[in-house]
Structure 1
C-alpha cells in the first residue's frame, strides 16, 4: 500500500554510512497526501504534524472487525510474527503501520483502543534467546520508569504481553531518530546550539541510568528519538549563493529539541559480566576492541562519537574492521597508551607489532582502507571545519569524552558541568 511520510524528508539519498546490518528505524507514521498541511511559522515554512492516525485509520481499514482476533498463521522462517494491517493484537491494539525491523523482531504502530493513544509495539521473534532478552529488557524498562519521574529521559513502557509465543512490548509513540533525521535531511549537520541541547539531554539520560547502576552499551543516533516529528525548513547558508528552486538548498530542523533514549535490549547491570563485545561498531570504545573489559565509561565514549556526528553529519569512525578502527582512532586522537596495548587480550594483540606499535599501514587490508584512515583530520581540525562559535569548548569536552583510558574518561555528571553546557552563550532561536 503506497503511502507518504508525515513531514517527509527527501528519500533519494542512499545511506552513506557503512553498516554491519540494517538497523531499526523508528520513523514517522504514514498519512494521506491531503493531510500534510503547510503553515507559516515565524516567517519560515513550518510543516505541521498531521492528523492523528486514529482519525484517518478508518479511511484505510473500513469494514475490519474492531476487536476480532486474526486467523492463526505460522511465523516466517526467521520466527517473525506474520500480520496484516488492520488486525488487532491481544484484542486491544489495532495495527496501523510497520515502523521498523531488526534482529530482535519488528516494531508496529498501533492504536490502543482503551486509551485512544498511538503506541509503538515491539514484537519479538518467537526464538528462545530473543524471548529471554525481551524479558530482561522489560525488567530494565520497568526499573527506569519507576525512577524517571515525568518520563523525560527514556522511552516509556505502557504494557507488555505474550501473544502467540511472541513477547510484545508496548511503548509510547515518539518521532524519528536523530539518525533518520540526518539521513532524510541529506546528512546536513545540526546547528551547534541544537547539538548542545541534544548533548545535555543525552548526558542527563546517561547519568540517570548510571545512577541506577545500569549501562546502556548501545548508544547511537538510531537509539535517540525526537519526541515530536514536527520540523521547520530554513535556508542552508552554505548554499545561499546557489539556486533554490527545488528546495535542495534548504535544510530541516526539529521544531522541538526534546529527545528520549530507546532500545534497552543490551543494557546491563553493573554486577553482570562485562567481558563480551558491546556497542555498534561506529560507537565502540577502545577498551572493548582491546578486550580489556568495560563499564560505565563505554557509554561516554559513545556520547563523544555521537556529538561529533551531530556536528558533522557523518559518523566519526566509518569502519567495520578492528585494525582499521584503531588506526582511525590514532589518526584522530593520537597514539594509544602503551599500558592499554600491553594488556590487550589474545584476540587484539595481533593488531600490534612486537606488542607496542599498531600494525598500520602494514596490516591494512587494501589501499581503500589506507585512504579511509589518512583522509581523517585531527579532532580539533574536524570540529573547526563544522562549528563556528563554541568550537573551543566543544573540542575540550570531546577530548574528555574520548580519552582512551576509561579510568580517565569524563563521567556523565562531570561532562554536564563542562563550560560547553554552562557558559552563558547567546542561544539561537531553534535550540529549544
Structure 2
C-alpha cells in the first residue's frame, strides 16, 4: 500500500515480496531514506535471511535505481569478503518497485555508536575499521567508481558478536564512474562532505578518502569532526581547523563565492571567508 502523501511503499512485517523465482517474507523494516526502504526478509524457499532495498520504479527514483544497479553490475565479479563490499544477489520488480537483494548484515557504525552512547572507540578498534573501508575504496577505485556517500550509516558490521569490527561498505545509490564526475555535483552527506565538493571543484576518488577521515575522527571523538548544519558551517569549521584554503584552490571553484568574498585589491589574499552576517 502506498502513502498518498509521499508515494512511498508502506511495506510492513508479514508482507510478501515476489520475484520471478522467489518469495520473501518481510520480517522488519531496517531503514527508510529519500530513495527507498530497506527491509529484512526471509527467503521462503531456503529460509535464508536477506536485506532488500525497495525503490519506486518511476521518475528520479527509477533513474537512481538503474544507476545503482549499473554500479553493482560492475562490481558483481568481486569477492565480497576480500573487497569489504556488501554482497549483492540480484534485482527484481515488485509492486511497482525496483528491489535489490543483498546479504543481511548486523548493524551500521552509526547504530553501533548509538548503542554505546557515542562513547569514543580506542585507536586499536578504529585502525581495523579504517583499514577495511580503505580496502573497499581501493577496489572501487580499481573499478573506476566513486562511492560518493561514505558515512557511518553506510559502513556495516557483519556480525560483531562473532567477528568484532569486521565490516562491509554498503549503499551505492550515489556511486558513479570517476570519468563522469561532474564539477559542481552535490554529493556526500554534509558532515562528511569534502572541500572540493563544497567549493565546486573537479573531484576524483580522493573525495571518498576525505569522508573516511571524517568517519575515523567521529569514532575517535564520539561526535562529528565537523558538525555543520549548513555548507557554510562546514566551510567555517574546515577553515578554523585546517587553515584558509589557498587562492589557487579557491579561484576555480564554482561555489567559492558562496562562502568567500572576493577582494581584488588585497595584496596578500584575494578571497576572505564571509562572516556569518554576510552569509
TM-score w.r.t. length of structure 2: 0.90
Q: Is the contact between residue 145 and residue 151 of structure 1 (CA under 8 Å) also seen in structure 2?
A: no
What is the DSSP-based 3-state SS (H/G/I as helix, E as strand, rest coil) of the residue aligned with 1:147? Answer: coil
* 1:167/1:75 CA distance change after superposition, 3 Å: farther
Pick from 247, 253, 272 the counterpart of residue 358 of structure 1.
272
What is the DSSP-based 3-state SS (H/G/I as helix, E as strand, rest coil) of the residue aligned with 1:303? Answer: helix
Which segments of 5 or more consecutive residues in structure 2 lack a partner in the other structure? 264-269
Offset from partner CA, 1:5-34 (integer Å, 9 cap, x none): xxxxxxxxxxxxxxxxxxxxxxxxxxxxxx
1:333 CA displacement: 1.1
Pick from 144, 167, 177 the counterpart of residue 269 of structure 1.
177
User: How does 1:261-410 map onto structure 2 within 5 Å?
Assistant: 261-275=169-183, 276-345=185-254, 347-355=255-263, 356-361=270-275, 363=277
1:181 CA displacement: 0.8
Q: Is 2:134 aligned against 1:203?
A: yes
The residue number in structure 2 matching 1:93 is 24
1:154 CA displacement: 0.7
1:361 CA displacement: 3.8
Q: Distance in 1 between matches of 2:107 and 2:237?
A: 30
Pick from 167, 187, 212 the counterpart of residue 259 of structure 1.
167
Q: Distance in 2 between matches of 1:137 and 1:359?
A: 37
Offset from partner CA, 1:351-387 (integer Å, 9 cap, x none): 223353433545476xxxxxxxxxxxxxxxxxxxxxx
Q: What count of residue pairs does the alignment treat as equivalent?
A: 269
Pick from 83, 92, 95 the counterpart of residue 161 of structure 1.
92
* 1:318/1:84 CA distance change after superposition, 3 Å: closer
Q: Is the contact between residue 157 and residue 169 of structure 1 (CA under 8 Å) also seen in structure 2?
A: yes
What is the DSSP-based 3-state SS (H/G/I as helix, E as strand, rest coil) of the residue aligned with 1:271? Answer: helix
Greater C-alpha radius of gyration = 1
1:150 CA displacement: 4.2
Q: Is the contact between residue 83 and residue 135 of structure 2 (CA under 8 Å) also seen in structure 1?
A: no
1:74 CA displacement: 4.6
Query: Cα RMSD (Å) of the superposition?
Result: 1.9
Pick from 115, 128, 135 the counterpart of residue 59 of structure 2.
128
Which segments of 5 or more consecutive residues in structure 1 lack a partner in the other structure? 1-72, 232-254, 366-432
Higher relative contact order (CA 8 A, sep 6+): 1
Q: Is the contact between residue 159 and residue 169 of structure 1 (CA under 8 Å) also seen in structure 2?
A: yes
1:82 CA displacement: 2.7
Q: Distance in 1 between matches of 2:276 and 2:32?
A: 39
Q: Distance in 1 between matches of 2:194 and 2:239?
A: 13
Q: Is the contact between residue 12 and residue 29 of structure 2 (CA under 8 Å) also seen in structure 1?
A: no
Q: Is the contact between residue 192 and residue 210 of structure 2 (CA under 8 Å) also seen in structure 1?
A: yes
